[in-house]
């Protein structure tokens, strides 16, 4: 067993956050739809990753 990881085997892309301007992910859309339904709010399908994240946080505060 090696205790030291080899840098050439590390995928640097895994540490990069998603582009906030890209469309929301399928997981975000599913979570947003569930929360919006519980809150009786409409869902906008054109949200970005960042916008969806903020909307989810807002709805979680209202629903829970």
d(CA 50, CA 13): 19
In a domain, 28, yes or no: yes
In a domain, 15, yes or no: no
- What is residue 64's predicted lDDT score, i.e. its pLDDT? 78
Domain assignment present for 10: no
Q: Which pLDDT belongs to residue 56?
A: 96
DSSP letter assigned to residue 25: P
Domain assignment of residue 47, given as a range: 22-63
Query: What is the largest distance, in Å, between two alpha-carbon atoms of the chain?
Result: 54
Number of structural domains (the chain) is 1
Q: What is the pTM of this model?
A: 0.70
Say if 51 falls within a structural domain. Answer: yes
Strand partners, 12: none
Q: Examine residue 17 and state whether it is found in any structural domain, yes or no.
A: no
Q: Is residue 2 part of a domain?
A: no
Instruction: State residue 63's pLDDT score.
Output: 79
Q: What pLDDT does 20 receive?
A: 76
What is the chain's pLDDT, residue by residue, as a tens digit (64 residues)?
455 545 556 566 667 777 878 999 999 999 999 999 999 999 999 999 999 999 999 999 987 7
**Cα–Cα distance measured from residue 10 to residue 18, given in angstroms and rounded to the nearest whole number:** 18
Stated as kind and residue range, the H or E segment containing 11 is none
């Amino acid at each position: 067993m090696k205790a030291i990881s080899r840098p050439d085997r590390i995928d640097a892309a895994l540490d990069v956050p998603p582009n906030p301007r890209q469309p929301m992910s399928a997981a975000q859309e599913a979570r947003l739809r569930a929360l919006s339904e519980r809150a009786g709010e409409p869902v906008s399908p054109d949200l970005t990753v960042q916008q969806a994240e903020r909307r989810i946080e807002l709805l979680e505060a209202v629903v829970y």
